[in-house]
Amino acid sequence: MTLDSLVSLATERGASDLHLEPGLPPAIRIRGALKTMGEPLSAKVLLGLAKEVIGDADWPQFEERWSSDVSQRFSGVRCRINLLRTSRGVGMAIRLLSSVQPTLRSLNLHPDLIRLVNADHGLVLVSGPTGCGKSSTLAALVQEINLREARHLLTIESPIEYDLIPRQSFIRQREVGRDTPSFQQALLDAVREDPDVLMVGELREPETMRLTLNAAETGHLVLTTVHSGTVAEALQRIVAAFPSDAQAAVTAQLADCLVGVVCQQLRYRETLKIRVPECEILVASTATRAIVRQGQFFKLSSALESGGPEGCWTSIRYREWLDRRTDWYLPSKEEPALSAPERTIEPTLPLETPVAPKRKREPAEDPGVLVISSAEEDLDSIVSEMERREKPKKRG
For residue 145, the domain's CATH number is 3.40.50.300
396 domain-assigned? no
For residue range 280-308, what is the model confidence (pLDDT) as tens digits?
999 999 999 999 999 999 999 999 999 99
DSSP codes of every residue in 230-288 = SHHHHHHHHHHTS-GGGHHHHHHHHHHHEEEEEEEEEEEETTTTEEEEEEEEEE--HHH
Q: Of 260, 289, 324, which residue is a domain's last?
A: 324
368 domain-assigned? no
Q: How confident is the model at residue 49 (pLDDT cuts 50, 70, 90)?
A: very high
Which residue range forms the structural domain that includes residue 13? Answer: 3-98+342-346
Counting beta carbons within 10 angstroms of the beta carbon of residue 121, is it exposed (0 to 12), middle (13 to 18) or buried (19 or more)?
middle
36 domain-assigned? yes
More confident residue, 317 or 1: 317
CA distances from 285 to 40, 204, 212, 306, 311 (A): 55, 26, 21, 11, 10
Q: How confident is the model at residue 48 (pLDDT cuts 50, 70, 90)?
A: very high
**Same domain assignment for residues 198 and 227:** yes
**Same domain assignment for residues 9 and 135:** no
**Same domain assignment for residues 13 and 115:** no
What average pLDDT does this structure show over 370-396? Answer: 48
What average pLDDT does this structure show over 256-267? Answer: 95
337 domain-assigned? no
Q: How confident is the model at residue 349 (pLDDT cuts 50, 70, 90)?
A: low
385 domain-assigned? no
Mean pLDDT of the chain: 85
Domain with residue 38: its CATH number is 3.30.450.90
What average pLDDT does this structure show over 264-287? Answer: 92
**Same domain assignment for residues 13 and 162:** no
| Predicted local confidence at residue 381, as pLDDT | 52
**Same domain assignment for residues 80 and 116:** no
Does residue 107 register a pLDDT over 80? yes
Domain count, the chain: 2
Does residue 371 register a pLDDT over 60? no
**Same domain assignment for residues 147 and 224:** yes
Given a contact cutoff of 8 angstroms between Cβ atoms, the answer to whether 101 and 162 are in contact is yes
**Same domain assignment for residues 79 and 115:** no
**Same domain assignment for residues 263 and 319:** yes
**Same domain assignment for residues 148 and 188:** yes
| Predicted local confidence at residue 231, as pLDDT | 96
**Same domain assignment for residues 247 and 280:** yes
391 domain-assigned? no
What H or E segment, with its residue span, contains residue 174?
A: strand 170-175
